[in-house]
Amino acid sequence: LAEGTYAHPLLHRRQDATFIGAGLVDMRYTILQDRKMTFFHRCEQEWVSAIETAEAHRFYAEIFADSDVRCDDGVIARMAGLSGGLPYKMQLLGHHAWLVSGAPARQISHDHIDDASVHTERAMEARLYRPTWRDLSETERLIMEALGRAGGAIARVDLARQSGIAPAALSDYAERLGEAGCIDLSEPSHLALGPMLSFAVLEEAIARTDSFASADAAQAAASIAGRRPRCDRRMKRVNGRCILPVGHAGRCRSR
């Protein structure tokens, strides 16, 4: 704005310039913490929560009515529930429901919503869930994997014990994961999976972690198994036992 064609005339006339924009939650920890970004510091901040199911229902109903799409209220209610409060998921679900059903020529049915939901989840996994997972830190992934191993919900005290993270530090991580939509913080004593990650992505991550752990354990076992057992013969003169392999040549040696 400062270098644009609109800001300077407004400034000379002592009129205010208003900027309206939207950004991701991570801006709180990046741009909004940068002292040089004074413009954003002067902006009034409003953190937007997830869309309520009733609002999603009203949105679908109005869009379909304006477009002359036939769809009964039960189908609309189901779409509102499947959207999970995410605007992007609402858009995808409506888009695929429209394409699958052949609207507006044909009515959108529950069967069409079944198919649309599958297409929507595939798109969400590729465009949202996996990128979100890749952006998490190692500790955040550890927390999310523990949540996945617990079936998608776990008490804070149990998570702290299983992950080995101090309760105070866990609260900080949980708050940030909650802001990012990875964790549902609605229950004070429990943590649950949020809408920005899918259980399928967590299961893949857990399987990958377990696979690496099994490979490391197998390698260690093979290394131990490959060693010849010690002679372990008693050596009275040095009050010790032989450390050389069984069947070694020459005298025994304690060290």
**Could you state, in order of their start, the residue ranges of all structural domains in the chain?**
7-42, 53-133, 136-197
* Range 53-133 has CATH code 1.10.8: yes
Residues 98-125, mean pLDDT to the nearest whole number = 96
Residue 199, CA atoms < 13 Å, CB-side half-sphere: 8
Report cis status (omega within 30 of 0) of the bond before 104. Answer: yes
**pLDDT given at position 1:** 39
pLDDT in tens, 126-141: 999 999 999 899 999 9
Within the chain, residue ranges assigned H as helices are 7-12, 38-42, 53-66, 73-82, 87-101, 110-124, 130-135, 138-149, 156-163, 167-179, 199-225
Containing 240, the helix (H) or strand (E) segment is strand 240-241
Identify the bridge partners of residue 184 per DSSP, sorted by sequence position: 192
Residues 22-40, mean pLDDT to the nearest whole number = 79
Q: Kindly list the strands in the beta sheet with 153-155, ordered across the sheet, starting from the edge strand earlier in the chain.
A: 153-155, 190-193, 183-184
pTM here is: 0.67
**Range with the poorest average pLDDT among 31-35, 42-46, 73-77, 95-99:** 42-46
Token pair 């530090």 is found at 169
Rounded Cα distance, 150 and 40, in Å: 40
Rounded-to-10 torsion of CA 171, 194, 154, 191: 30
CATH number of the structural domain 136-197: 1.10.10.10
